[in-house]
Structure 1
Amino acid sequence: MSKVTVVGAGVIGLSVAHELATAGHQVRILAAEDALSSVSAVAAAIWFPHDVNRSGPVIDSARVTYQRLEQLARDPGTGVRMRAGTVLTRKPDPDTSWTRAVPQHAPATSAPAGAAGVRCTVPLVLTDVYLDWLRASVLALGVRVRTAEVSSIPEVLAMEEPDALVVAAGLRSGALLGDDEAVYPIRGQVVRLANPGLTEWIIDNDNPEGLTYVVPRANDVVCGGTGEAGSWDLDVDPAVESAILKRVEGLVPALAGQAVISRAVGLRPARSDVRVEAVEGFSRPVYACYGHGGAGYTLSWGDAARIAALIGPA
Structure 2
Amino acid sequence: MTVTNIDAIVVGAGVCGLTSALCLARRGLAVSVVARRLPPATDSCAAGAMWGPFLVDHPEAERWAGEGLTAFRELAAARTAGVTMVHGVEVARGVADPHPWLHLTGDLERCDEWAWPEYRSAWRYTTAVVDMPVYSEYLMAELRAEGVRVEQRELRSLRELSGRAPVIVNCSGSGARRLAGDPGLVPVRGLVVVVRNPGIDTFFAEDGEGPELTYYIPHGDTVVLGSTIEAPGGVALPEAVAAERIRRRCADIEPLLRDAPVIGVRSGRRPVRDRIRLETTTRDGQVVIHNYGHGGGGVTVSWGCGRDVASMVEACLTRLH
1:1-314 to structure 2, matched below 5 A, reads 3-53=7-57, 55-94=58-97, 96-111=99-114, 112-113=116-117, 114-158=119-163, 160=164, 162-178=165-181, 180-206=182-208, 210-230=212-232, 237-312=239-314
2:150 partner letter:
V
Q: Cα distance 1:209–1:164, how it changes in 2: closer, same or farther (>3 A)?
A: closer
Give, in angstroms, the shift of residue 231 of structure 1: 5.4
Instruction: Provide the aligned length of Structure 1 versus Structure 2.
Output: 310
1:127 partner letter:
M
Looking at structure 2, the residues matched to 186 and 289 of structure 1 have their Cα atoms a distance apart, in angstroms, of 18
Asked whether the equivalents of residues 39 and 133 of structure 2 are also in contact (C-alpha less than 8 Å), the reply is no
Looking at structure 1, the residues matched to 211 and 151 of structure 2 have their Cα atoms a distance apart, in angstroms, of 44
Q: Cα distance 1:88–1:156, how it changes in 2: closer, same or farther (>3 A)?
A: same
1:46 partner letter:
M
Looking at structure 1, the residues matched to 235 and 247 of structure 2 have their Cα atoms a distance apart, in angstroms, of 20
Asked whether the equivalents of residues 50 and 294 of structure 1 are also in contact (C-alpha less than 8 Å), the reply is yes
Looking at structure 2, the residues matched to 273 and 236 of structure 1 have their Cα atoms a distance apart, in angstroms, of 30
Unaligned ranges ≥5, structure 2: none
1:144 partner letter:
R
Asked whether the equivalents of residues 55 and 272 of structure 2 are also in contact (C-alpha less than 8 Å), the reply is yes
Looking at structure 2, the residues matched to 21 and 294 of structure 1 have their Cα atoms a distance apart, in angstroms, of 26
1:13 alignment partner, SS class: helix
Asked whether the equivalents of residues 187 and 232 of structure 1 are also in contact (C-alpha less than 8 Å), the reply is no
1:169 partner letter:
S
Runs of 4+ in 1 over 6 A off after TM superposition: 232-235
Give, in angstroms, the shift of residue 195 of structure 1: 0.9
Looking at structure 1, the residues matched to 305 and 209 of structure 2 have their Cα atoms a distance apart, in angstroms, of 30
Asked whether the equivalents of residues 95 and 120 of structure 2 are also in contact (C-alpha less than 8 Å), the reply is no
2:142 partner letter:
S
Q: Normalization by structure 2: what TM-score?
A: 0.90
Asked whether the equivalents of residues 59 and 100 of structure 1 are also in contact (C-alpha less than 8 Å), the reply is no
Asked whether the equivalents of residues 211 and 229 of structure 2 are also in contact (C-alpha less than 8 Å), the reply is no
Asked whether the equivalents of residues 279 and 287 of structure 1 are also in contact (C-alpha less than 8 Å), the reply is yes
Please identify, of 215-224 and 278-287, the stretch whose mean Cα deviation from structure 2 is larger. Answer: 278-287
Asked whether the equivalents of residues 53 and 99 of structure 2 are also in contact (C-alpha less than 8 Å), the reply is no
Q: Normalization by structure 1: what TM-score?
A: 0.92
Deviations 1:21-72 (A, max 9, x none): 111210010111112111111111111221223x431111111100001011
Give, in angstroms, the shift of residue 128 of structure 1: 2.1
Give, in angstroms, the shift of residue 222 of structure 1: 0.7
Give, in angstroms, the shift of residue 232 of structure 1: 9.1
Please identify, of 184-193 and 304-313, the stretch whose mean Cα deviation from structure 2 is larger. Answer: 304-313
Asked whether the equivalents of residues 96 and 121 of structure 2 are also in contact (C-alpha less than 8 Å), the reply is no
Instruction: Output the aligned Cα RMSD.
Output: 2.2
Q: Cα distance 1:157–1:309, how it changes in 2: closer, same or farther (>3 A)?
A: same
Unaligned ranges ≥5, structure 1: none
Give, in angstroms, the shift of residue 6 of structure 1: 0.3
Q: Cα distance 1:151–1:46, how it changes in 2: closer, same or farther (>3 A)?
A: same
2:228 alignment partner, SS class: coil
Identical aligned residues as a percent: 29
